[in-house]
């Protein structure tokens, strides 16, 4: 397998210029975009971008429009600055995710318009696939899996089915396939050739989407003791049938230590993943972090106490222990590891 780990911090240093993560306070997205030209996002980090369709996954959404990294498009509220992150962290990868130009409609997996079009602030340039599979928890699984693969952490990509059985990318890429016994147990059999291509990775994810959901994902994550210390990649999740989940895409902080965050969601039916508006506060699309209490989003009401965090994969921990990349994100003294 080709190693990608060594390239990751360098790619992010090129992807997000120093000024991006310290955007002038109060500048609207249009002004910020004018200051920083459209980034050339790397296929190694976001491999679905070069082509809007993959084998077995014809894109049901509109053709890819000019895109910009999330951090280029959405500045923090006045008085806030984005928190420091390791160059290899999940949060840094999320900040670099491309958004479609403007505020296009959210479309369902079959290309039709979502009936409710007032919940989103922006739309991620991320394919949905042609089946009703990549829903709310599935969208979060997709982001986490894509990040780990871009980092070179292929052996750390594994998600539980609702049954509790683990489905790992390493087994799938080796040619093994899951089968369910009459007793409901999952067994694995070698039925195909080894295949580590991105197309096969997407086929693996479709199987995960079919048998995993908010219940299984909530069991795999750790509750966050103090949600006011939110970091990018945290997830508000309520497992159920139906349940729901939304993911924290970015976090900023003021001098008093108060944090604000951005949320994104997929939904049912499967649809474009999108950044949520905050209709209850004057800092939309940002939300104010709290230790407890109600979390009100346009299509879902939950509580801050439902916040969970992915346990770090072993390769993530190695990167966090490796130290900082001086100047890689424009903080002068280098990247802080405070958020992990």
* Residues facing 104 on adjacent strands: none
Range name among 51-65, 238-252, 320-334 with the lowest pLDDT average? 320-334
Which of the pair, 339 or 109, is modelled with greater confidence? 109
Res 47 pLDDT > 60: yes
Q: Where are the beta strands (DSSP E) in 220-333?
A: 222-223, 235-238, 244-253, 259-265, 274-276, 287-288, 294-297, 300-303, 307-309
Res 317 pLDDT > 80: no
**Residue 305 has what pLDDT?**
98
- Cα 33 to Cα 18, 84, 97: the distances in Å are 14, 22, 15
Res 79 pLDDT > 50: yes
The b-or-e profile of 315-334 (16+ CB within 10 A means b, else e) is: bbeebeeeebbeebbebeee
Res 26 pLDDT > 50: no
Q: What are the helix and strand counts (H, E) for the chain? A: 9, 17
The b-or-e profile of 131-162 (16+ CB within 10 A means b, else e) is: bebbbbbbbbbbbbbbbbbbbbbbebbbbbbe
- Cα 127 to Cα 29, 134, 179, 250, 302: the distances in Å are 23, 9, 27, 21, 27
Res 251 pLDDT > 50: yes
134 domain-assigned = yes
CA nearest neighbour of 29 among 102, 94, 96, 79: 102
71 domain-assigned = yes
| C-alpha span between 113 and 119 (Å, rounded) | 13
335 domain-assigned = no
What percentage of the chain has pLDDT greater than the value 70? Answer: 76
* Residues facing 69 on adjacent strands: 98
Instruction: Quick: pLDDT tens for 136-157.
Output: 999 999 999 999 999 999 999 9
65 domain-assigned = yes
333 domain-assigned = no
Which two three-digit tokens encode residue 211? Answer: 């048998």
What average pLDDT does range 54-72 have in this prediction?
A: 55
331 domain-assigned = no
What average pLDDT does range 288-304 have in this prediction?
A: 98
**Residue 60 has what pLDDT?**
42
Instruction: Quick: pLDDT tens for 182-217.
Output: 887 899 999 999 999 999 999 999 999 999 999 999
What average pLDDT does range 20-33 have in this prediction?
A: 36
Per-residue confidence band for 91, with pLDDT thresholds at 50, 70 and 90: very high
131 domain-assigned = yes
Are 195 and 175 in contact by the 8 Å Cβ rule? The answer is: yes
Can you give the residue range of the structural domain that contains 108?
5-321
What average pLDDT does range 129-135 have in this prediction?
A: 97
Q: What does the DSSP 8-state code read for residue 302? A: E
Q: What does the DSSP 8-state code read for residue 195? A: -
Through-space distance between the first and last CA atoms of the chain, rounded to whole angstroms:
28
| C-alpha span between 41 and 203 (Å, rounded) | 23
Which two three-digit tokens encode residue 271? Answer: 């649809």
Range name among 55-59, 75-79, 127-131 with the lowest pLDDT average? 55-59
The answer, yes or no, to whether the previous bond of 237 is cis (omega within 30 of 0) is: no
Helices (H), the chain: 8-15, 29-35, 70-73, 90-95, 136-151, 169-173, 198-211, 214-220, 314-321
| C-alpha span between 272 and 225 (Å, rounded) | 31
**Residue 50 has what pLDDT?**
63
Report how many domains make up the chain. 1
330 domain-assigned = no
**Residue 42 has what pLDDT?**
62
- pTM for the whole thing? 0.82
Res 308 pLDDT > 90: yes
């Amino acid at each position: 397998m080709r190693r990608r780990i060594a390239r990751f911090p360098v790619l992010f240093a090129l992807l997000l210029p120093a000024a991006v993560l310290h955007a002038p306070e109060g500048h609207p997205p249009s002004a910020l975009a004018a200051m920083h030209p459209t980034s050339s996002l790397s296929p190694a980090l976001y491999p679905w971008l070069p082509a809007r369709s993959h084998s077995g996954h014809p894109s049901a959404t509109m053709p890819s429009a000019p895109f910009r990294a999330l951090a280029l498009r959405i500045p923090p509220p006045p008085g806030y600055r984005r928190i420091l992150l390791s160059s290899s962290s999940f949060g840094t990868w999320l900040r670099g995710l491309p958004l479609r130009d403007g505020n296009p409609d959210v479309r369902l997996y079959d290309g039709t318009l979502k009936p409710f079009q007032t919940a989103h602030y922006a739309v991620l340039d991320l394919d949905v696939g042609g089946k009703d599979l990549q829903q709310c928890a599935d969208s979060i699984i997709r982001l986490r899996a894509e990040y780990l693969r871009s980092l070179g952490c292929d052996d750390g990509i594994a998600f539980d089915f609702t049954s509790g059985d683990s489905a790992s990318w390493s087994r799938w890429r080796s040619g093994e396939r899951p089968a369910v016994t009459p007793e409901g147990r999952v067994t694995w059999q070698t039925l195909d050739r080894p295949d580590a291509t991105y197309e096969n990775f997407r086929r693996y994810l479709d199987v995960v989407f079919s048998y995993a959901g908010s219940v299984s994902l909530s069991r795999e994550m750790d509750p966050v003791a103090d949600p006011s210390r939110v970091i990018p990649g945290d997830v508000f999740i309520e497992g159920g049938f139906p349940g729901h989940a939304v993911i924290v895409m970015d976090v900023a902080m003021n001098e008093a230590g108060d944090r604000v965050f951005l949320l994104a969601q997929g939904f049912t039916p499967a649809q474009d993943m999108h950044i949520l508006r905050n209709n209850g506060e004057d800092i939309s699309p940002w939300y104010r972090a709290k230790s407890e209490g109600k979390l009100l989003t346009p299509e879902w009401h939950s509580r801050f106490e439902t916040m969970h965090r992915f346990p770090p994969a072993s390769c993530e921990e190695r990167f966090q222990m490796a130290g900082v990349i001086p100047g890689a994100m424009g903080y002068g003294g280098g990247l802080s590891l405070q958020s992990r």
